[in-house]
Amino acid sequence: MPSSPQKHKTNSHTSPVIFIIVFTCLLLIGAIIFRNFILHAENTRQIGGPYSLLDGHRNLITQNNFKGHFTLIYFGYTHCIDVCPLTLATVSEALKELELQKTPIIPLFISVDPTRDTPENVEEYVSHFSPHIIGLTGSAQQIQPVLNEFHVTVHRYLGKSKEELLNHSSLLYLMGPHNNLIGLIPVDSSAHQISTELKRLLSENQL
């Protein structure tokens, strides 16, 4: 008797997994292209602007609270599983180097996740890295204008465990005493590279 044709079974889980991998790769490539564009942009004066956000005690904080001081701003979120905690840990080490030389910089962590990042959550999160980092968050209406001003892009997607993750552009923004952009530093720099670049930028701006 002729053998019956074999039925080929398809794995229903393969397509979604491939889609997630491809989508994530595209987001990473887009983030790298965006970072390189920003780092080499001729007119960086268009980056940055006013903000009105909440600290861990739900006090309203604006750029005027830091007038006369240099601030180092990083955008992230507390549910981040890789880049954000690594960056904050590296920045913390860089700040320790600068503290030894009495270099005045106020580090700020601004959440890109208004849905989950409450002021209390953000304050607890940054306290794990450094007592000097000030965590700021707010409603979507408060955060979105800040993201636009700093050219921060955010894309939501589901991780392997179906948890919501965010892919966002990552850079360190050194802002001057009048909330003016002084320089941009890649987050994949080492702690020593960050501290060295910060000292260079401050030196060029007469500090």
Rounded CA gap, 87 and 55, in Å?
A: 20
pLDDT digit string (tens) for 109-166? 999 999 999 999 999 999 999 999 999 999 999 999 999 999 999 998 887 777 788 9
Rounded CA gap, 33 and 193, in Å?
A: 22
Establish if 21 belongs to a structural domain.
Answer: yes
Establish if 22 belongs to a structural domain.
Answer: yes
- The pLDDT value given to residue 158: 82
- The pLDDT value given to residue 156: 87
Q: Please, which residues bridge with residue 136 across strands?
A: 110
Domain with residue 118: its CATH number is 3.40.30.10
Establish if 7 belongs to a structural domain.
Answer: no
Residue 149 contacts residue 51 (beta carbons within 8 Å): yes
Give whole-number Cα distances, 136 to 39, 60, 126, 141, 177, in Å. Answer: 24, 9, 10, 14, 19
Q: What would the DSSP string read from start to end of 139-153?
A: -HHHHHHHHHHTT--
- The pLDDT value given to residue 22: 53
Q: Comparing C-alpha atoms, which of 146, 140, 74, 149 is closest to residue 106?
A: 74
pLDDT digit string (tens) for 40-98? 444 455 899 999 999 999 999 999 999 999 999 999 999 998 899 999 999 999 999 88
Establish if 128 belongs to a structural domain.
Answer: yes
**pLDDT band of 173, cuts 50, 70, 90:** very high
- The pLDDT value given to residue 162: 73
Greater confidence (26 vs 134) lies with 134
Confidence check: pLDDT of 18 > 90? no
Establish if 145 belongs to a structural domain.
Answer: yes
Establish if 71 belongs to a structural domain.
Answer: yes
80 is in an annotated binding site: yes
Q: Rounded to two decimals, what is the model's pTM?
A: 0.77
Establish if 6 belongs to a structural domain.
Answer: no
Domain count, the chain: 1
Question: Range of 104's domain?
Answer: 14-204
Q: Comparing C-alpha atoms, which of 79, 13, 48 is closest to residue 152?
A: 48
84 is in an annotated binding site: yes
Establish if 1 belongs to a structural domain.
Answer: no
pLDDT digit string (tens) for 182-196? 999 999 999 999 999
What φ, ψ does residue 52 adopt, rounded to 5°?
-140, 100
Task: Quote the distance between the C-alpha of residue 135 and its chain's center.
Answer: 12
- The pLDDT value given to residue 203: 87
